[in-house]
Structure 1
């Protein structure tokens, strides 16, 4: 499928910015962790806000990364059967999975939005951040996954079969 080079450039730029946001969150979480160690063991002054910030950032890092940074090839899968079949059957298997995933997330989305918006009545213990703001990343994650799998399904329907897994090229990501 031919994609306009400008769109591809915008996509690469957005992907890089998503990685930057992820790296910034990880840096803040690491700094909070170091502060927690310093305050607790050097100053003998336990702090709760650093632990709370680390927990919040961990949730955001996982969901932001899964929504915008992790590619299909980087996702972990149990694919013994999937990898052993041809491209046509692999495409059918992918479409069954994608339709199931899109359907389940789409059905759950109104309830998720309702719950997250309801959580505006609660705040975190130390940082006093409203829970609807803290959990809003889950809505972003669900919408991103739905859009991603609609796009991937469209590609499969147009004849671009999902890539075959090559165990000789598997690695640790390094």
Structure 2
């Protein structure tokens, strides 16, 4: 049972990465269309800018909520790397509790805002803004689940990995 859950999780993680890559590819293609129309055809179009902005918003929030690993998150490495596993566990627990509380508190207000924004539409494509901002709800729920998991891991005695500057890279 546990192995099949791990396999399902790995499969879903790969599909989330695939979706992120598709969004990035679509944003790049739309950007190229915008350049061709503006500078080669001397006919600026606005929908390409609108799609690029929406895709960027979705890329950032979807990626942060479902693709980014805990070890890839931004930290104060000078402090974090200088302490042992016990203080790292405490930092992870405090951070997890604080973020879960903040996201849970903000979730109802953000859901109301997203629902309210169905009355507004984007300028060119007339996409309802609740569709544009709906990704925040998914991001917040993903972040809540992630930080609950990290907090419970810290409580069970699992310290987050220490930062190893010899293995730092650009993600490639």
TM over 0.5: yes
Query: What is the CA-CA distance between 1:36 and the residue it aligns to?
Result: 0.6
Establish whether residue 137 from structure 1 lines up as the match of residue 135 from structure 2. yes
Query: What is the CA-CA distance between 1:79 and the residue it aligns to?
Result: 2.5
- Which residue in the other structure is 1:30 paired with? 28
- Which residue in the other structure is 1:60 paired with? 58
* Correspondence list, 1:122-133, <5 A: 122-133=120-131
Deviations 1:35-62 (A, max 9, x none): 1111111211110000000000000000
> Does the 8 Å contact 2:92/2:150 carry over to 1?
no
Query: What is the CA-CA distance between 1:171 and the residue it aligns to?
Result: 1.1
- Which residue in the other structure is 1:109 paired with? 107
Greater than 3 Å deviation, 4+ residue runs? none
CA distance in 2, matches of 1:118, 1:92: 39
- Which residue in the other structure is 1:170 paired with? 168
> What is the aligned-residue RMSD (CA, Å)?
1.1
Larger RCO (CA within 8 A; separation ≥ 6):
2
CA distance in 1, matches of 2:130, 2:170: 35
> Does the 8 Å contact 2:34/2:49 carry over to 1?
yes
**Out of 84, 87, 92, which is 1:86 matched to?**
84
CA distance in 2, matches of 1:30, 1:171: 24
Number of residue-to-residue matches in the alignment:
172
Q: Output the TM-score relative to the length of structure 1.
A: 0.96
- Which residue in the other structure is 1:74 paired with? 72
Deviations 1:32-90 (A, max 9, x none): 01111111112111100000000000000000000111101111222222221111111
**Out of 42, 46, 49, which is 1:51 matched to?**
49
